[in-house]
Structure 1
Amino acid sequence: MAVGCLLVGAIAGSLISQGRRRRVARRPAGPTVAELLLRLVRSSDNGVLVLNRFGDMVLHNNRAEALGLVRDNRADPRARKASEQVVETDEDVEVDLSPLEARGRQPEAVVGHVRPLGDGFTVVEAVDHSEAARLEAVRRDFVANVSHELKTPVGAIALLTEAVLDAADDVDEVRRFGGKILHESTRLGTLVTELIALSRLQGAERLPDLNVVEVDAVVREALGRTKLSAESADIQVTADAPSGLLIEGDRTLLVTALSNLLENAVAYSPAGSPVSVSRRLVDGKVEIAVTDRGIGIAEEDQQRVFERFYRADKARSRATGGTGLGLAIVKHVAANHGGEVKLWSMPGTGSTFTLRLPVYKGASSNGSAPENPERIPRLVATSQEQGGKQ
């Protein structure tokens, strides 16, 4: 009898063990659906917050904290209020969750979408629209600035033209007003040209095929473009010895960028003061520096001088006929060539703008031209040869 009981127990134990093994074998390998959903929530680019009917947090991800949806382990009051409304109406609600006060570098425009999950639970999904808001602000500023900048010379030309018509019998007055009309029309043409250049640099239009460019040729041509304005302002512009350095890029754009730096240096320097251009190779970057002994730029303005239409000295800029686009063009030319533009300045002492561009990779170890220049593909001609093509 005892043996029979033992045999029955052994068989039952064997059957139970087999059943457990079958259940273990049927269990799928890897994470469960719940675990995958939790991973999805945690890895989302949007802030995700789940609340119960009492407004208590059930689940949230790190992005929700980064967007301010959750602070000090508590849900944003605006999100909780919207959640209560969703529980009552069972309809989706959109709520503005943008920060109420500035706290350094943080999202500026956050929109929350609140949806019901049933049983009194709601989910709040916060989306960061800060970049779109910044772009829209830039667009509005750009349109406003362009409108203002274009109205000024156009209005001046209209008034001066009326003055010429009224003084048609006075040759001296006609000449005087005619000279002013020419000045304003030239300023208008320059503004339009620079706007077109800037839009191309910032837009989707790709740069022309890059060629190997001699840094010395770029410096020579830029100096040639600035010669007349420097002589008129009684500014002596000097350059260091030729370097033989090479870079890969678009020569016309590079000359434009360097010319803008030189024109700025001349415009904001007192008569008789020097302006210099130097070039050197530092850590695989060709540095072209323009140094003046002018009025300098205040520290609070140094980060903004590369913005479109920004002028540190508005009165001086108007007097010199500046458009406020020159340094913005320099910045984008440098960026499109894989480089950057650096600024050092001190009010009352002067400024140094430095273009830093990658050295041509096919050059020798010191960045200068190789011994056999014929091996360089499509080497750009010197400034004298290109003079008529600019």
Structure 2
Amino acid sequence: MTATGYLVLSIGALLIGGGAFLAGRATARPREERPTGLTVADLMGMIVQSSHDGIVVLNGFGDVVLHNPRAEELGVVRNNRVDDRARRAAELARKGNEVVAVDLSSLEVKGRQPQAVHADVRVLVEGFVVVDASDESDAVRLEATRRDFVANVSHELKTPVGALALLAEAVLDAADDQEEVRRFSAKIMQEATRLGTLVTELIALSRLQGAEKLPELSHVSVDEVISEAMSRTKLAAESADIDVTTDEPNGLEVEGDRTLLVTALSNLLDNAVAYSPPGSPVSVSRRLVNGYVEIAVTDRGIGIAENQQTRVFERFYRVDKARSRATGGTGLGLAIVKHVAANHGGEVKLWSLPGTGSTFTLRIPAHPDRDEPTADLPKPELLSTKVGGEL
């Protein structure tokens, strides 16, 4: 039971008892002596009506005698009738004179209706019962996310760890064959590198998602961020025979953490290279739009189906699992990009078409002293596009 819940219950008790008291006083005093302005009962009623919890008062017959708008939003009251589960809980509360917890979650979630609604039902005063309902959807979703995360991490870590054990055993068995030892040792190195990358990205992601604040923000040159990110991707691009190009530097600046921004852009470039066929181009462009610096990474790769576009930023989600494993991808790169953007007060947007390619656009608030670009600033194709193909 939250502090707000206890406060609201106290208000409910005072609202019923105090209202009766004030009504009695009002009949005893002359008309001209009645107080003007808001009474205590009025103020308490306003608090109940504006409460974030759904408050419902039932009489001895289970009829609704008082409820606030939030109770209807949570689905506890419909057409001035309380949910049957709350009515049955009210009967139990009267019989046992104790608090009864009840799950009032909708059996059929529609639209933006809360996913999880929990309530405490207790006797308010003789003959009246109060239902205090709260929306627990965020907590339920967080717990589900935590369980999925633990399960995914366990699965992802078991794969390289198991591979290392098998490869080490193979090295022991082939101790007299130097060629086999070298071959298995190279695979051990590959799996160890993959495991190290996975652990590093898990730590980075946990810091971005946790309560840890970003380091002190500073002026960051977008041109330098792009240059460093391209340098990090240069070797992989050359190995895949992919030409990564960029537009001309324009002196844009953002307020942020340089290391995190380089990491985010590097992840976008790594994905573009990994999911593009040999010989295809990848381009990076930058511009200032409505106070945001937009850095777009465009490829002509396999593209992403519309039903997958909302999921690519989930942890461990891979569009092409076979390709991702072959390139050593962890499935965490885009999740890190999303959280880096959010921690800088920005966002990452996606436009993609299967067989055509994709454009990921990192949007970060520009440094406040920066003026808007002139009208003749070149605007690269596919820049500033959104999920679903909105240009």
Provide the TM-score with structure 1 as the length reference: 0.85
1:173 matched to which residue of 2? 180
| Aligned position for 1:159 | 166
Q: Which of these residues, 205, 224, 232, is aligned with residue 198 of structure 1?
A: 205
Give the distance between the partners of 2:156 and 2:33, measured in 1 at CA: 74
Please report how far the alpha carbon of residue 242 of structure 1 lies from its aligned counterpart in structure 2 after TM superposition.
1.6
Contact 2:289 2:372 in 1 (8 A): no
Shift of 1:365: 5.1
Task: Tell me whether 1:141 sits opposite 2:151 in the alignment.
Answer: no
1:85 lines up with 2:92 in the alignment: yes
Q: CA deviation at 1:42?
A: 0.7
Distance (whole Å) between structure 2 residues aligned to residue 336 and residue 93 of structure 1:
41
Distance 1:364 1:90 in 2: 67
Alpha-carbon deviations, 1:276-323, whole Å to 9, x = none? 111111122111100001111111111111111122222222222111
User: Counterparts of 1:259 and 1:91 in 2: how far apart (Å)?
Assistant: 58
Secondary structure, in 3 states, of the residue corresponding to 1:231? helix
Residue 278 of structure 2 corresponds to 271
Aligned residue among 348, 358, 369 for 1:362 = 369
2:190 is the counterpart of 1:183: yes
Q: State the match for 1:305 in structure 2.
A: 312
Partner in structure 1 of residue 301 of structure 2: 294
Letter aligned with residue 185 of structure 1: A
AA in 2 matched with 1:175: R
Q: 2:315 is paired with a residue of what secondary structure? A: coil
Counterpart of 2:180 in 1: which secondary structure? helix
* TM-aligned CA deviation for residue 24 of structure 1: 4.7
1:241-270 Cα distance to aligned partner (Å, 9 max, x none): 122212221111111111000000001111
Q: Which moved more, 1:341-350 or 1:104-113?
A: 104-113
Q: Cα distance, 1:364 vs. partner? A: 4.8
Give distance in 2, aligned partners of 1:364 and 1:57.
Answer: 59
SS at match of 2:186: helix
* Aligned with 1:258 (options 265, 281, 284): 265
Q: Please name the residue that 2:382 is paired with.
A: none
In 2, distance between residues paired with 1:95 and 1:220?
A: 58
Mapped partners of 2:138, 2:75: distance in 1:
16
Name 1:50's counterpart in structure 2. Answer: 57
* Residue 139 of structure 2 is aligned to residue 132 of structure 1: yes
CA distance in 2, matches of 1:360, 1:268: 33
Letter in 1 for 2:140: A
Task: Give the TM-score normalised by structure 2.
Answer: 0.85
1:167-246 matches, cutoff 5 A: 167-246=174-253
RMSD: 1.8
Tell me, what secondary structure is at the counterpart of 1:94?
strand
- 1:342 and 2:310 matched: no
* SS state at 1:286 partner: strand
Q: CA deviation at 1:91?
A: 2.2
Displacement after TM superposition at 1:26 (Å): 4.2
Instruction: Determine the structure 2 residue equivalent to 1:388.
Output: none
- The answer as to whether partners of 2:74 and 2:114 remain within 8 angstroms in 1 is yes
Q: Is the 8 A contact 2:291 2:372 kept in 1?
A: no
3-state SS, counterpart of residue 330 of structure 2: coil
1:217-263 CA distances to partner (integer Å, 9 max, x unpaired)? Answer: 11111111001111111111111112221222111111111100000
Corresponding letter in the other structure for 2:369: G
Q: Tell me the residue number matched to 1:283.
A: 290
Partner of residue 125, structure 2: 118
Residue identity matched to 2:120: H
One-letter code of the match for 1:107?
Answer: P
Separation in 1 of the partners of 2:187 and 2:35? 84
| One-letter amino acid matched to 2:191 | E
Which residue of structure 1 lines up, in the alignment, with residue 23 of structure 2? none
Q: Does the residue aligned with 1:48 lie in a helix, a strand or coil?
A: strand
Matching residue's letter, 1:235: I
Unpaired runs of 5+ residues, structure 2, are: 1-26, 375-391
1:202-227 CA-partner distances (Å, limit 9, x unpaired): 22222222222221111111111001
3-state SS, counterpart of residue 249 of structure 2: coil
Answer with 290-299 or 200-209: which moved more: 200-209
Residue 164 of structure 2 aligns to a residue whose secondary structure is helix
Q: 1:102 aligns with which of 99, 106, 109?
A: 109
Secondary structure of 2:161's aligned partner: helix
Distance (whole Å) between structure 1 residues aligned to residue 293 and residue 98 of structure 2: 61
Gaps (5+ residues) in structure 1? 1-19, 368-390
CA distance in structure 2 between the partners assigned to 1:34 and 1:365 by the alignment: 54
Contact 2:288–2:372 (CA under 8 A) maintained in structure 1:
no
Q: State the distance in 2 between where 1:337 and 1:313 align.
A: 29
Of 305, 312, 316, the residue aligned with 2:323 is 316
